[in-house]
Amino acid sequence: MKTDKLRVLILEDSADDFSILLRELNKGPYKIEYTLVEDATGFENALKEKWNIIISDYSLPSFTGFDALKLCNEKEIDTPFIMVSGTVGEDIAVDMMKSGAKDYIMKNSLARLLPAIKRELEDAKTRRERRQAEESLMISEKLYHNLFDQANEGLVLTTLVGKLVAVNQAFADMHGYNTYELMYMDISVLNATKGNAIEENADIVSRLQDGEVVRYEVEHYHKDGHVIPLSVTASMIDIDARFYLGFYQDITERKEAEAAIKKKMADLEWFNNISVGRELTMIELKKEINELLKRLGEEPKYEISK
């Protein structure tokens, strides 16, 4: 039972040749659906539909197989194009193949037609799947680049030895550079303290290699020389090669707020120590006065709480 549908566009002006061609097609495992056209207008209109195979004669009164193939190329139609003719020489056949025809079959050798169709259907499927994969990859890469470039956090991709290979605008801005200045720079150049780069910290490297997402803090030099405190979230990713992906946040305001709180606490502690010390000193002084008054036989002047 024929279950696979094959939609065939046929360009042929000979009724006898068409009948022979259709008979050959029906020998195959396909349920044939076809449209027969005889001229340029009919062929161009038919190209608005989807076809599995295009079969074309070469010599027609006002339109040739080469014209038909050229029209397919102009419209970027990827449907396999097979020329079937009995009048074309080898030089024209070669030119047709170079121009994109998938096969050339003489009308007295139609036994080659079905194997050629099977081959071209498989090749077309492979091309379609490859194109879909490439389109998916392109979409993924475009989405990645948009997310990477437009992120508010600084994002960097570094090699395992610390070479910057991708830097987004936010990371460049927080360091005072442009992205081109940072590309392929060694990230150790930015490190304000020895050992705070990923590749210099054995513990971080070990955890990343174990698949952990690691959070830590570093200090980097700004282009003008001042130091920037940064919070980093790092992970290891594999995209044809292994890289470190780092998310960097400028925590200057947080550090300044923490410093202000610590200073406030230190001031309060100092004030408390001074106050307590003064109070103890006054108590001792009052005791001494009361003792002196007692020695003088007078009543104590100060009441001291227990």
Please report the pLDDT score of residue 226 as a whole number: 93
**Could you tell me if 167 and 281 lie in one domain?**
no
* Residue 272 pLDDT class (50, 70, 90 cuts): low
Stretch 100-122: mean pLDDT: 89
CATH of the domain at 96: 3.40.50.2300
**Could you tell me if 21 and 135 lie in one domain?**
yes
**Could you tell me if 15 and 118 lie in one domain?**
yes
Residue 148 lies in a domain: no
Please report the pLDDT score of residue 279 as a whole number: 62
What pLDDT, in 10s, does the model give residues 2-52?
778 999 999 998 899 999 999 999 999 899 999 999 989 999 999 999 999
What pLDDT, in 10s, does the model give residues 258-269?
777 777 766 666
Asked if the model's pLDDT at residue 107 lies above 90, the reply is: no
Among 250, 269, 289, identify where a domain stops.
Answer: 250
Among 208, 227, 250, identify where a domain stops.
Answer: 250
Please report the pLDDT score of residue 230 as a whole number: 93
Residue 146 lies in a domain: no
Asked if the model's pLDDT at residue 276 lies above 60, the reply is: no
Range of the domain at 240: 154-250
**Could you tell me if 120 and 26 lie in one domain?**
yes
Among 250, 268, 294, identify where a domain stops.
Answer: 250
pLDDT higher for 275 or 231? 231
* Residue 136 pLDDT class (50, 70, 90 cuts): low
Calculate the average pLDDT of the chain: 83
Asked if the model's pLDDT at residue 275 lies above 70, the reply is: no
* pTM for this model (two decimals): 0.50
Lowest mean pLDDT among 62-71, 177-186, 223-232, 290-299: 290-299
pLDDT higher for 81 or 276? 81
Q: Give the list of residues 6+ apart from residue 163 with CB closer than 8 angstroms, or none.
A: 184, 185, 186, 187
First-last CA distance in the chain: 110
Stretch 140-145: mean pLDDT: 62
Asked if the model's pLDDT at residue 162 lies above 80, the reply is: yes
Q: Which of 25-34, 103-112, 267-276 has the highest mean pLDDT?
A: 25-34
* Residue 82 pLDDT class (50, 70, 90 cuts): very high
Return the sign of the alpha-carbon dihedral for residues 58, 62, 63, 64: positive
Stretch 170-182: mean pLDDT: 90
DSSP string, 111-180: GGHHHHHHHHHHHHHHHHHHHHHHHHHHHHHHHHHHHHHH-SSEEEEE-TTSBEEEE-HHHHHHHT--HH
**Could you tell me if 22 and 125 lie in one domain?**
yes
Q: Give the list of residues 6+ apart from residue 38 with CB closer than 8 angstroms, or none.
A: 11, 12, 13, 60
Number of domains in the chain: 3
Residue 31 lies in a domain: yes
Residue 74 lies in a domain: yes
Residue 77 carries which side chain, given as an amino acid letter? I
**Could you tell me if 19 and 130 lie in one domain?**
yes
Residue 277 lies in a domain: yes
Residue 170 lies in a domain: yes
Torsion-angle region of 99 (φ positive above 0: left; ψ -120 to 50: alpha; else: beta): alpha
Asked if the model's pLDDT at residue 54 lies above 70, the reply is: yes
CATH of the domain at 211: 3.30.450.20
Please report the pLDDT score of residue 197 as a whole number: 65
**Could you tell me if 135 and 166 lie in one domain?**
no
